Amino acid sequence: MTRPGDREAGDITPVTKNRKAYYEYHVEETIEAGIALRGSEVKSVRQGKISLQEAWCRIEGGTMKLMDCHIAPYEFADASTAPSPVRPRQLLLHRRELLKWEKACARKGYTVIPLSVYLRNGYAKVKVGLCKGKKLHDRRASVAEREAKRRMERAPRVRH
């Protein structure tokens, strides 16, 4: 029996999403990866001071790194010991998963993009997607489809 205040086994707290990724890319496959953070970066992530807008992932040397992800310095931490806000951060994956994704990413037109950051049982996790870039006409079609869906929802319902 769980006591009040205890967390569920798969307790997930969303922190941020990369909404631009779903607009610019077709997401083919996703995977959950841990992220290696230093010092006060964890507190900044818990406060939601993380941006994935320009972020991407690089697979090299048997590791996957999160590049161009901005984590604002924690305001109550010592500024002299704070890590750089835009440093490369290692993503934690099993070796088998990493090899599979390295092969998939080597195909022409594919890239690895972070889709969201969330906390699972107190640990920061990144949802990473294997993506293929959309062409301009694909983006326009997505926008038109989304707007048509909105119009259908807003339209008055006819009763018989």
Query: Distance between the two ends of the chain, CA-based, in angstroms?
Result: 50
Q: How confident is the model at residue 127 (pLDDT cuts 50, 70, 90)?
A: very high
Ordered by start, the domain boundaries in the chain are 12-154
Span 98-125, mean pLDDT? 92
Residue 14 pLDDT > 80, yes or no? yes
Residue 66 structure tokens: 């999160």
CATH topology of domain 12-154: Small Protein B; Chain: A; (2.40.280)
Query: Which one is predicted more confidently, 62 or 79?
Result: 62
Residue 29 pLDDT > 50, yes or no? yes
pLDDT at position 1, please?
45
Query: Chain-wide mean pLDDT for the chain?
Result: 88
- pTM higher than the cut 0.85: no
